[in-house]
Amino acid sequence: MKLRQALWYVFGMFVCVMLIVTTTSVPTANAQAQVKPPIPYPDPPKLEVGGAPVKRLPISQIVTYKKLPQYHQAPWLDKFVKDGTLPPVEQRLPKEPAVYLKSGMKDGIGVYGDLWRAFSACPTAGYNDLAGTTMGWFGIESYSSRYGSLVKTGPLFRADQDIEPMPEIAKSWDWSADGKVMTLHLIEGAKWSDGVPFTADDVMFTWEGYILDDNVNAPRHLDAWSWDGKPAKMEKVDDYTIKITFPIAKPLDVFYLMNEDNFHVMPAHQLKPLHPKWSEKTPKPTYKDFANALPPDALPLVTMGPWVITEYKTDELMIMRRNPYYWKVDEDGNQLPYMDEIQYRKGPSGIGRDLCTIAGDCDHTNLENPSSFVESMTKAQSPDAKYSISWGPETLGYDIEFNFSLDVGAKDDRDKAVRTLFRDLRFRQALSYATDRDGIAQSIMKGPFLRGWAGGLYPGAPDFDKNSVVYYPYDPPSANALLDEMGLKKGSDGIRTWTSGPMSGQPVVIQLMASQDQKETQSVAEAVVNQWSAVGIKVNMKIWDSQTQTDAMAAGNWDMRVYRQDQAFALPFVNVTALAPITKNFRWHLEGDKPRQMMDFEKDLVDIVNKYRVTFDPAGRKKLMFDYNNIFTKNVYDLGVFVGRYGLGTAKRVKNIPDGTPVFLYTWVEDAVLLDQVWTPLDQQLKQNRPETIPIYKK
């Protein structure tokens, strides 16, 4: 009897073990069987976009630096020279000013006067923008500060080559014989808008106070200026010469570390006394104090740009007036800019700029919110339309980014559990299978303008190859199978819960950030909230303004965000640090006090990007980008949603906007169009808000 009981006991234990093995292994096998394989990425729909082709020129036919026989200014400035408020124009200009050439102007030499009417949907938090403080975007930074960069890359769409930038404050540069030393020759005798001389000390302050100081939320730090793990070194030679020493020969991406996005020179005479390293105040200012050192009412702005911000009414209006010390002229010696004033209206959404341009009350819009495309195109075809539209390639991409950092900004067990989910490829694949990309695209705008996108390189990028794309199709059963395999169990309410770890039994709830000023990020977020809930993932959508997003990204206090992706995915060499975590402040995977734990495929991407940034051979770069995009999309490094085309809408009355100007390529259009040489015929000029006034600074 005892033997029989023992045998039954052993048999029962065997059955239990088999049941456990069966119930834990069958879902995995079933999951793999149920998950659909990737599909080939479709070809784009045929679409006639029209528009005149780009006229490509050598840079030397667009701009040069030389002394001219005589100079002229806007006639109404004569009274300020006469009463001693301003020195004569020739004394306000550099020894050899930058000269825009007629050969590079579509409509030729312009006339003075008029008002450029613009729109911003971002709050202005302050003016220390290289420290991460938002000035308001929508061109505000471009027109008022970024004409003070070492080099300029925005207008390169017009150049007959793709790497070497246009000169800017650095009028020329030389390489040593071994290619490891670059000597920059700066403009000599230029002045800031308050009349204080510009020198190499301003460049060195920007280097030491922003690039070298990791406590400042600058777009690039020394790790971006490093090759083979060794940093570059910048030194002042004299008041108008800078020397940079590199660990390798001629790194191609250095030009894009010195451009208008990353190294526009900051005024040392104004900001150095406010910097924690140099301030003599007691107590010393904090780095937060420094970021906020130039609040919205600290006006006029001190700048090297063509216009100076002189007035700001919160969330209503911003006014910029011409900078009488601006250091560029046209070929006839006329000091630029041609236009006297820029006016910014403020509103809650970027759609407002589209509507303002359609109504004829704004002079420019970037069509980047597809929900307004149809109305914009329809109104542009009217005979009395005051604006026209041109369309670019497929480089308008909206995606969803994941926060992969295990520790930076992770405040509790819930944050850590979410980051761990993101690092599991099955979870990212599941979200991809759960996303109806084409459905979202068509719900925003029916027709051929928008289509699904895997993420990674834009289909309109010169180095894009569709065969590199790993494209997971919309298939909710595949998503459910993968989530089941991960052990995320659906509850009675349909929401999945963790079944192990500190969060066991708790629902999987993820925060998704959308942008206040980018309408389509909200459209995407609203769509995936519904689509992902169908597979048991609960998403809470939050709409944040630009400064709140900037602060959250810098601190790592976020889960996912919908984002209109950057130009690095069109032209990778313009911003290699945006492609993979080669710097500590790579936004998807920040590094804090501890070394970050990179996933294996991230290491592969870092290796590819480090090879790319020193590869001058175009065929070699293209091959590296094929491999990069294949690894990126296979691992769903970000989740692409849809891709389309940007449209550029500009007022018909303005002249000298080059044919084929892209909204977003090397940089945004505001840095590409060279607004300082745009002009309007006298009979079409508008009434200014503050005519015949200049910025006045307190002594």
Per the listing, tokens 């005979």 go with: 383
Is 291 within the bounds of a domain?
A: yes
Lowest mean pLDDT among 29-43, 166-180, 193-207, 211-225: 29-43
Residue 670 lies in a domain: yes
Residue-wise pLDDT for 154-165, tens only, equals 999 999 987 889
Band (pLDDT 50/70/90 cuts) for residue 15 is very low
Q: How confident is the model over 236-276, as pLDDT tens digits?
A: 999 999 999 999 999 988 999 999 989 999 999 999 999 99
Same domain? For 569 and 655 the reply is no
Percentage of residues in the chain with pLDDT exceeding 90? Answer: 79
Q: Are the C-beta atoms of 649 and 365 separated by less than 8 Å?
A: yes
Angle at 143 between CA 545 and CA 53, to 5 degrees: 100
Q: Which residues contact 511 (CB under 8 A, 6 or more apart)?
A: 539, 540, 542, 558, 559, 560
691 inside domain: no
Q: Is residue 695 part of a domain?
A: no
Predicted model pTM: 0.82
Helix axes 476-485, 425-433, angle to 10 degrees: 160
Residues 527 and 676 reside in one and the same domain: no
pLDDT value, residue 448:
86
Q: How many CB atoms lie within 10 A of CB 15?
A: 10
- The Cα 57–Cα 54 span in angstroms is 9
Do 354 and 461 fall into the same domain?
A: no
pLDDT of residue 14 exceeding 50, the answer is no
What's the pLDDT score for residue 124? 92
The predicted-structure confidence for 354-386, as pLDDT tens digits, reads as follows: 999 999 999 999 988 888 888 888 999 899 999
- The whole-number pLDDT of residue 47 equals 75
Structure tokens given for 316 = 């209503």
Backbone conformation region of residue 270, classed left if phi is above 0, alpha if psi is from -120 to 50, else beta? alpha
pLDDT confidence of residue 32: 60
pLDDT on residue 351: 86
Residue 692 confidence (pLDDT) above 90:
yes
Q: Mean of the pLDDT values across residues 472-494?
A: 96
Q: Tell me the sheet residues that pair with 185.
A: 172, 241
Q: Are residues 473 and 452 in the same domain?
A: yes
Where residue 33 falls among pLDDT bands split at 50, 70, 90? low
Q: Do 622 and 538 share a structural domain?
A: yes
Whether 513 is covered by a domain: the verdict is yes
Whole-number pLDDT of residue 350? 82
In sequence order, what DSSP letters do the residues of 533-590 get, joined into one string? HTTT-EEEEEEE-HHHHHHHHHHT--SEEEEE--GGGTSGGG-GGGTSS-STT-TTS-
Look up the domain containing 319 and give its range.
59-366+647-684
Task: Please tell me whether residues 107 and 192 are part of one structural domain.
Answer: yes
| 382 Cβ neighbours under 8 A, 6+ residues apart | none
Last residue of a domain, one of 596, 621, 644: 644
Please name the residue ranges forming H helices in 168-222.
200-206
CATH number of the domain to which 666 belongs = 3.40.190.10
Tokens read off for 219: 């777009």
Residues with Cβ within 8 Å of 326's Cβ and at least 6 positions away in sequence, in order, are: 147, 193, 304, 305, 306, 335, 336, 337, 676
Indicate if 266 and 250 belong to the same structural domain: yes
pLDDT digits (tens, 9 = 90+) for 668-691: 999 999 999 999 999 999 999 999
Instruction: Tell me how far apart the alpha carbons of residues 436 and 214 are, in angstroms, rounded to a whole number.
Output: 41
Does 562 lie in the same domain as 516?
yes
Of 698 and 421, the one with more pLDDT:
421
Q: Is position 414 within any domain?
A: yes
Q: Which residue has the higher pLDDT, 89 or 667?
A: 89
Left, alpha or beta for 501 (phi > 0: left; psi -120 to 50: alpha)? left
- 140 or 341, greater pLDDT: 341
Q: What CATH number is associated with residue 575? A: 3.10.105.10
Phi, psi of 48 (to 5 degrees): -85, 115
Residues 42-66 have pLDDT tens digits of 999 887 766 778 999 999 999 999 9
- In the predicted structure, residue 449 carries a pLDDT above the cut 60: yes
> Comparing 34-48, 165-179, 297-311, 432-446, which segment has the lowest mean pLDDT?
34-48
What is the mean pLDDT of the segment spanning 478-500? 95
Note the pLDDT tens digit of each residue in 127-139.
999 999 999 889 8
Report if residue 126 sits inside a domain. yes
In this structure, the answer to whether residues 659 and 633 fall within a common structural domain is no
Q: Does a structural domain hold residue 15?
A: no
Is residue 338 located within the same domain as residue 407? no
Q: Are residues 421 and 325 in the same domain?
A: no
- What tokens does 649 get? 């809408």
* pLDDT of 541 higher than 60: yes
Alpha-carbon distance values, 105 to 49, 68, 100, 142, 598 (Å): 24, 18, 8, 20, 48
Q: Rounded to the nearest 5 degrees, what angle is found at the Cα of 655, between the Cα atoms of 651 and 656?
A: 120
Confidence (pLDDT) at 483: 97
As for how many domains the chain has, the answer is 2
Rounded to whole angstroms, the Cα distance separating 312 from 690 reads 13
When the pLDDT of each residue in the chain is averaged and rounded to a whole number, the result is 92
Residues 25, 441: Cα–Cα separation, whole Å: 38
> Per-residue pLDDT for 513 more than 90?
yes
Highest mean pLDDT among 18-22, 198-202, 381-385: 198-202
Asked whether residue 358 falls in the same domain as residue 239, the answer is yes
Residue 23 has pLDDT above 80, yes or no: no
